[in-house]
Amino acid sequence: MTAGFIRTVLGDTSADDFDVVYAHEHVIIDSPLIAAAFPHIHLFDEEDAVTELSECRHSGVGLMLDAMPCSSGRVIDRLARISARSGVAIVAATGLHHDRYYGPLHWSNRVSVDALAELFVADLTEGIDLFDYASPVIERTDHRAGVIKVATSGEHPDARDRRNLEAAAQASVVTGAPIITHCEGGTGAIAQVELLNGWGVAGSQIILSHVDKIADLSHLRDIASTGAVLECDQSLRQADKGVASLTAQAICALVTEGFGSQVVVGTDGARRSLWRSLGGEPGLAWLATELPLILTELGLDVSQISAVMGGNAARALTWKCAPTPSRTAREYP
């Protein structure tokens, strides 16, 4: 497969294959630190995930981006099995998350920019380590990452943030893989884009997560003016019997103002309380079934909603080049 593919855990596929794409999900989050310190986001069970994603698949979801990167709770063999069993294609992330998921003595805080970039490239082009870098033995699987994840801690990136951003930029420039960022509390997006641009990453290759945590249109307009992709993921948490949430209103305003090609959506469903398979509500399928209805009520047309619900994300997750021979994805039901 040549340039213009999406790299999933089961192989490379075309952006044309998916109508509904969730651009920021958490299918598996499992580590001793997560279990001890963050039990409310401890998503470890393969059967629960298959049940939840199967409902999403039944609702039209074809592709999800799992946003846990290196050593932060990512479990690649489980992700691959969940994808195969549920029929939902999954894009895995390389990169690094917030320091809170590692701790100050973790290896990720003690290596250079170049070493991190080399590791990210290996995840993207060779295969993700079965043990997720928790073992002195690295056993690369056939399941490769399709996006680079990086997080910052506030409006102005600190030294750790800048190092990780630079490593992500290096890996993106070398491979053509897109970058997804975490904007803490909705902040820091513009600084992230400016730094990544300076290291050679185009705005269209950058997906900015959680920006709608500050649902102020002038704020979102400024971010959109950078040319980056805005990932809006608070609507599921704001769900209330179809009432138009602040996020839904912000999406409509951005589309109306001409930024419709830069808006993607996700659930950021990293809460056990949100999964129907775990007894929570409203369930991850809500985004596919209910958000389009709300957007319709707010005045968006079918083509605009289609772009927001899938087309934009499929394009944003598409690699710009193919540095290594690709593996063809299995047929998804």
Note the pLDDT tens digit of each residue in 168-216: 999 999 999 999 999 999 999 999 999 999 999 999 999 999 999 998 9
Average confidence (pLDDT) over 142-165: 96
**Predicted TM-score of the model (pTM):** 0.95
36: part of which helix (H) or strand (E)?
helix 32-37
Residue pair 2/136 in contact (Cβ under 8 Å)? The answer is no
Average confidence (pLDDT) over 16-37: 96
26: Cα within 13 Å, side-chain hemisphere: 23
**Where does the pLDDT of residue 57 fall: very low under 50, low under 70, confident under 90, or very high at 90 and above?**
very high
Of all residues in the chain, the percent with pLDDT exceeding 70 is 94
What is the spatial distance between Cα 234 and Cα 256, in angstroms, rounded to a whole number? 20
What is the spatial distance between Cα 305 and Cα 324, in angstroms, rounded to a whole number? 35
User: For 66-90, what is each residue's pLDDT tens digit?
Assistant: 999 999 999 999 999 999 999 999 9
List domains and CATH numbers for the chain. 7-316 (3.20.20.140)
The pLDDT of residue 169: 98
Angle at 192 between CA 187 and CA 194, to 5 degrees: 125
Residue pair 199/157 in contact (Cβ under 8 Å)? The answer is no
Buried b or exposed e, range 127-137, using 16+ CB within 10 angstroms: bbbbebbeeee
The pLDDT of residue 104: 81
User: For 320-333, what is each residue's pLDDT tens digit?
Assistant: 974 444 444 444 33
User: In angstroms, how far is the first alpha carbon of the chain from the final one?
Assistant: 21
User: For 255-300, what is each residue's pLDDT tens digit?
Assistant: 999 999 999 999 999 999 999 999 999 999 999 999 999 999 999 9
Of all residues in the chain, the percent with pLDDT exceeding 90 is 89
Within a 10 A sphere around the Cβ of 321, how many other Cβ atoms? 12
The pLDDT of residue 272: 98
The crossing angle, in degrees rounded to 10, of helices 46-58 and 76-86 is 40
Q: What is the mean pLDDT of the chain?
A: 94
